Amino acid sequence: MKPEEAKKRIEWLRSELKKHNHSYYVLAKPTISDFEFDSMLNDLEVLEKMFPQFADPSSPTVRVGSDVSEGFTQVAHRYPMLSLANTYSFEELDEFDARVRKVIPQGVEYVCELKYDGTAISITYLNGFLSRAVTRGDGTRGDEVTTNVKTIKSIPHNLSGTDFPSDFEIRGEIFMPHAVFDSINVQREEQGEALLANPRNAAAGTLKILDSKVVASRKLDCYLYYILGDKLPFENHFQNLQKAKEWGFKVPAEAKLCETINEVKAFITHWETERKKLPFDTDGVVVKVNSYKFQNLLGFTAKTPRWAIAYKYKAEQAETKLLSVDFQVGRTGAITPVANLEPVQLAGTTVKRATLHNSDQIVMLNLHKGDTVLVEKGGEIIPKIIGVVKEKRAIHSAEVEFISLCPECGTELIRPEGEAKHYCPNLYGCPPQLKGRIIHFISRKAMDIDGLGEETIELLFNEGLIKDFADLYNLTYEQLLPLERFAKKSATNAINSIAKSKEIPLHRLIFALGIRFVGETTAQKLAKHFGSIDTIRNASFEQLIEVDEVGERIANSILEFFASETNRILIQKLESSGVKTTFVETSVVAESDKLLGENVVISGTFAQVSRDEAKILVEKHGGKVLSSVTGNTTLIVVGENMGPAKLDKARKLGIKIISEEEFLKTIQ
């Protein structure tokens, strides 16, 4: 390969891996299998060694993927939280063993543990009490999610016994059991909501929910498998793991101490089939050198420890024929290609369709019409094509081409810069988008209109009775009764439910409007901050970004939404129909005027009260709560982990800063 060709390939691989890292860690929605990702990463590593002139310190080969997200305080890890090197073959496992024994010729023991398919967590305990929980993040810094982690019943708040170190970290994997996952999806299906993709994504997404009550309801679980700190009881990993069990931690019961690499292989072979009987997902086995002394001798690369490796099981695959490709339009206008396949048995079900995700996936697969393809169902609800059997390709077969026009309305598609998806920009004339927005509007977390589902909305739309969600409020009993899906009772219930939805709180209405990037939490913040749809509609960019959790992307999306004449007319129709468009807050009973005249910002994590409770206390004692530090702020109540940028800004503005203790003492 010529240098210029290598450079082009390296840049493409880095770009693709960066996008997939973002999908996996931040969005918790991986678009390719682990095997595909690892293969691409391996290709990049080989090319970077062959062409060192193209080295880059930010390359995915030397960086850990990041799950850092907005809405959480970022905290530096005391010890780097690295990834593990992966292998899919016993040959590479033998090579790992040879590298270890080259440094340590004798006395090597390995600990084998199942590799749980969840999301990594690091928890600090001080004097036996849970002090802080942080996600992997980028390996150097992660999101502080202590409040959410405390809702997980298998993680102790305080330890048993007395022989634990005064200050140590324990790391593990948070996951969602199959029974919980299935139960949530049954409920979501009944409510007409999108199903969760798989337990791993569900666990990662749940841990990043800002409302800890919702996190608690998801019944997450956790296995803890690695301890870090000074003055640990033993000089090896396995004994410390058993000791951690005595302190009250849920540690892997399947962990096994092995003296040879053949014992390790036997463990891997045993669990390849037995893991399918477990009530949670596993995707491999982690092999660690047991002795801490030997771990230190072996050391680390920039990204992985040299004393550990993950053997990953390949997801179940099947070979079948590609019949055709459909292009589906979602409610946001996103175009998703879906492959129609010759039916094939895979993981206990008959597979007829597989997602192709986006145009990049079609290009990467070099997919041709009539190809024989490999289909994988690694935890996905919709299987995916992971490869093509090129030796079975028909001569002169045509490439599968991504469409340029919307299959529903014929509008030319666009692909926003930095995004993988193509979109139909015809927001107000493309039928699937119009119907999709109505379905979102009536959903339980939005306007919660019973008696109407996706099929009913399709019927009403096709009959010309509704063109948008505001038209729902003009429907009459007489219009519904003659329709196929309605009888007297169901028509009455639907009309009553539509009428009842007029009293839904403002934040639910904002969420129901379907403004891009505005989720439930952001909708609540906007409702409380501005107080009415009208005020949000007239807000400037500067006013919008003053709202907690509203950044540039969300602010621009809100401005774009209300700049549309169609959307302004929709809002007017809703107001005319009697839908509540103003914020009604439960009144706070005043207890004193000790904070009268104070504009207070609450920041950080608190020990004695929650942040929400602190805000209520401010209002009870005459103060006003602000969402961000501005020139109007007069007081900041700070807990642990206040963001450095916010703290620096407060000091520059000369704002008084007090601790949680001082705050509570002030209002006593």
Q: What is the pLDDT of residue 641?
A: 61
Specify the DSSP element, H or E, that contains 256. strand 256-258
Confidence of residue 67 (pLDDT cuts 50, 70, 90): low
Q: What is the mean pLDDT of the chain?
A: 87
CATH number for the domain harbouring residue 572 = 1.10.150.20
95-102 long-range contacts, Cβ below 8 Å, gap at least 24? 96/287, 96/309, 97/261, 97/264, 99/306, 100/289, 100/294, 100/298, 100/306, 100/307
If asked whether residues 176 and 298 sit together in one domain, one would say yes
Residue 367 CA to residue 373 CA, distance in Å, equals 9
Residue 353 CA to residue 383 CA, distance in Å, equals 7
If asked whether residues 278 and 320 sit together in one domain, one would say no
Residue 399 DSSP symbol = B
Does residue 587 fall inside a structural domain?
no
| Last-in-domain residue among 372, 399, 424 | 424
If asked whether residues 531 and 647 sit together in one domain, one would say no
Most confident stretch, 396-410, 543-557, 641-655: 396-410
Among 29-33, 299-303, 498-502, where is mean pLDDT lowest? 29-33
Which one is predicted more confidently, 29 or 176?
Answer: 176
Cβ-Cβ contacts under 8 Å for 309 (sequence gap 6 or more) = 84, 85, 86, 87, 93, 96, 286, 287
**What tens digit of pLDDT does each residue of 516-544 get?**
889 887 898 899 889 899 999 999 999 99
Domain that holds residue 525: 431-576
CATH number for the domain harbouring residue 368 = 2.40.50.140
Does residue 63 fall inside a structural domain?
no
Specify the DSSP element, H or E, that contains 268. helix 261-274
If asked whether residues 79 and 217 sit together in one domain, one would say yes
Residue 68 CA to residue 85 CA, distance in Å, equals 22
Confidence of residue 153 (pLDDT cuts 50, 70, 90): confident
* Helix 261-274 with 90-103: angle, nearest 10 deg: 150
3-state SS class at 171? strand
CATH number for the domain harbouring residue 611 = 3.40.50.10190
* DSSP of 492-537: HHHHHHHHHGGGS-HHHHHHHTT-TT--HHHHHHHHHHH-BHHHHH
Among 339-353, 394-408, 561-575, where is mean pLDDT lowest? 339-353
Mean pLDDT of 269-285: 90
Residue 215 CA to residue 377 CA, distance in Å, equals 27
| Last-in-domain residue among 373, 395, 424 | 424
Three state DSSP letters for 317-342: EEEEEEEEEEEEECCCCEEEEEEEEE
If asked whether residues 400 and 546 sit together in one domain, one would say no
Which one is predicted more confidently, 314 or 312?
Answer: 312
3-state SS class at 76? strand
Q: What is the pLDDT of residue 649?
A: 77
Residue 330 CA to residue 335 CA, distance in Å, equals 7
- pTM here? 0.50
Confidence of residue 82 (pLDDT cuts 50, 70, 90): confident
Mean pLDDT of 501-524: 90
- Percentage above 70 pLDDT, the chain: 91
Does residue 277 fall inside a structural domain?
yes
If asked whether residues 456 and 504 sit together in one domain, one would say yes
**What tens digit of pLDDT does each residue of 582-626 get?**
876 555 567 888 898 888 888 877 777 767 678 888 888 988 888
pLDDT of 440 above 70 = yes
Residue 208 φ/ψ, nearest 5 degrees: -100, 5
Cβ-Cβ contacts under 8 Å for 2 (sequence gap 6 or more) = none
**What tens digit of pLDDT does each residue of 472-484 get?**
999 999 999 999 8
Our count of domains for the chain comes to: 5
Residue found by looking up tokens 């801490």 in the block:
292
CB-based contact 526:550 (threshold 8 Å): yes
**What tens digit of pLDDT does each residue of 372-391 get?**
999 987 554 568 898 999 99
Which is nearest to 178 in space by CA: 164, 196, 165, 161? 196
Residue 201 CA to residue 155 CA, distance in Å, equals 20
CB-based contact 130:150 (threshold 8 Å): yes
If asked whether residues 620 and 663 sit together in one domain, one would say yes
Q: Is 615 exposed, middle or buried, given 0-12, 13-18 or 19+ CB atoms closer than 10 A?
A: buried
Q: What is the pLDDT of residue 644?
A: 63
Q: What is the pLDDT of residue 26?
A: 44
Residue 361 CA to residue 292 CA, distance in Å, equals 43
Residue found by looking up tokens 């009293």 in the block:
503
Q: What is the pLDDT of residue 128?
A: 92
Q: Which residues are catalytic?
A: 115
| Last-in-domain residue among 258, 279, 312 | 312
If asked whether residues 498 and 538 sit together in one domain, one would say yes
Confidence of residue 74 (pLDDT cuts 50, 70, 90): confident
Which one is predicted more confidently, 47 or 585?
Answer: 47
3-state SS class at 72? coil
**What tens digit of pLDDT does each residue of 535-582 get?**
999 999 999 988 877 889 899 999 999 999 999 999 999 999 999 998
Mean pLDDT of 204-230: 87
- Percentage above 90 pLDDT, the chain: 49
Does residue 61 fall inside a structural domain?
no
